[in-house]
Amino acid sequence: MTGFILIVIAALFFPGIILRTKSIASGRKGPGLFQPLKDIAVLLRKGSVFSISTGLIFRIAPSVALISVAGAMLLLPFSEHKAILHFEGDFIMFAYLLALGKFFMIIAALDTGSSFEGMGASREALYSMLVEPAFFILLATFAMFSSYTSFSVIFNHFYITGNDYVFIYSIIGAYLFVQIAMVENSRLPVDDPKTHLELTMVHEVIILDYSGFDKALIHMATNLKFALYGSLIYNLLVPAGWNTLLKIGAFFGVQTLFAVIIGITESFRARNKMNKNPKFILTLTTIALIAFMVILILTEKLV
């Protein structure tokens, strides 16, 4: 339960930190830290407008997206505190809970009958499909390294294996989690959340027909997903044996650093051309595969 609560708290501040970082980097005063929360609060008070061409899928997709992220949060531990739900192979359920929310958002975009939303949905599906191998190879690497297949045990035993290379594995894993989170949340360099040109939009175009309460649910799911990946990075970098107050401080420190990295990236990096995105995403799979092979060699499991 501790990890779940901390992720929710981190999600409240995460988008505001990104905005403040981008404002400072560009020399602007910019919006306040709590502006994204205020925007969500305004949307929650508004009603939703539905096109007559849409059906049930379009209406339930935002709720499914939010619930799927909340379900994935139940599988994440906080340091040595086990997750609310934990079992062998739970990281597979974690991945496909997130995929379920993404799937409903994609078919909801198709449900509108818009050619632009269909185009964005196909791109979203392609990028998620390409980044999936990197995610599973990375998690398989940690499972092999710790000899466990549950998040609650993998992270708890990560730093007590006695292996001298654990810090290197952690850094590689953290880098890949950051990049995977950027792809899964449709941020630079794969997608630009500021663009409103339909020909280059990905995530923004598939939520184009949503308004009011439903759009607030989508933004809430996105913020929680960012904090969820930040929790993965924290569990990977911070040893479980630290003092509780120190671990909580480190948790919010990692989340803040993660948000700052996103803000800096979006301030100084241009978006890839569309034909470059598949190559960029497949590079992440290559890095994960190299890390997997290195661990096989160093742990003497490669015969």
- For 168, 173, 298, 301, the CA distances from 157, given in Å and listed in that order, are 16, 16, 18, 19
Q: What long-range pairs does 155-158 form, CB within 8 A, spacing at least 24?
A: 155/77, 155/79, 155/235, 155/236, 155/240, 156/77, 156/79, 156/80, 156/82, 156/240, 158/236, 158/240
Residue 280 lies in a domain: yes
Averaged pLDDT score across all residues of the chain: 87
Residue 303 lies in a domain: no
- Give backbone dihedrals phi and psi of 81, rounded to 5 degrees, phi first: -75, 120
> Cα angle at 70 between 73 and 190, to 5 degrees?
85
Low-confidence ranges of the chain (pLDDT < 70): 157-165, 198-199, 299-303
pTM confidence score: 0.91
Q: How far is CA 137 from the centre of its chain?
A: 17
In the block, residue with structure tokens 């791109």: 123
Residue 53 lies in a domain: yes
Residue 59 lies in a domain: yes
Residue 33 lies in a domain: yes
Residue 281 lies in a domain: yes
Q: Could you read off the pLDDT of 242-266 as tens digits, one per residue?
A: 788 888 999 999 999 999 999 999 8
CB 222 within 8 A of CB 181: no
pLDDT, residue 222, reads: 94
pLDDT, residue 213, reads: 94
CB 258 within 8 A of CB 229: yes
Print the domain residue range for 211.
2-298
Residue 54 lies in a domain: yes
Domains contained in the chain, number: 1
Q: Could you read off the pLDDT of 58-87 as tens digits, one per residue?
A: 999 999 999 999 999 999 988 777 888 888
